[in-house]
Amino acid sequence: MMRVAFLALMGLQLGASPGAGEERRSYVVTGDAIMQPLVGGKGDPARGAALIADRQRSLCTLCHSGPFPDAHLHGTLAPDLTGVGARLSEGQIRLRVVDMKWLVPNTIMPSYYRVADEQGRRVATVWRSKPILGGADIEDIVAYLTTLKG
């Protein structure tokens, strides 16, 4: 099954807010995957590894453990990412980072490439109208996670 996620609809809010940063593009969900990269070209696995280890920016290790530095600071709220590249395809990983709520609506995993519905959400000014990560950052993370074969 194919479903087009019209992020452009929410992009109206983006457009109304100057300095909102990188424009988010629409993407196509096929089954439980996003087959095409969000931005042109492949991501950089080395940059992705560094980003995952960055607790302030990506936040990944607050919930996930895996073959990353500082194991004692890894969370246990979400699955261990060791071997995720063997369990999931690149496209499946991409959708899970972009918008896990598309698959599991009540998940605690933030949707990294979606602007939070701002009605009643009290999003802090500095984060308002912005996705958690830009498309290029997400592609770097996807490129890295696909290398984790076990």
Torsion, CA 57, CA 107, CA 84, CA 93, rounded to 10: -80
Handedness of CA 25, 31, 33, 36 (dihedral sign): negative
Tell whether residue 111 is a contact of another protein (CB under 8 A). yes
Of 2, 41, 124, 150, which lies in the binding site for another protein, with binding defined by CB under 8 A? Answer: 124
CB of 50 to another protein, least distance (A): 18
Give 3's strand partners: 29
- Out of 61, 66, 93, 95, the residue judged to bind another protein by CB under 8 A: 61
Q: How far apart are CA 133 and CA 14, in angstroms?
A: 14
Contact between 122 and another protein by CB under 8 A: the answer reads yes
Residues that bind another protein (CB under 8 A): 55, 59, 61-63, 72-77, 108, 110-111, 116-117, 120-125, 127-128, 130, 132
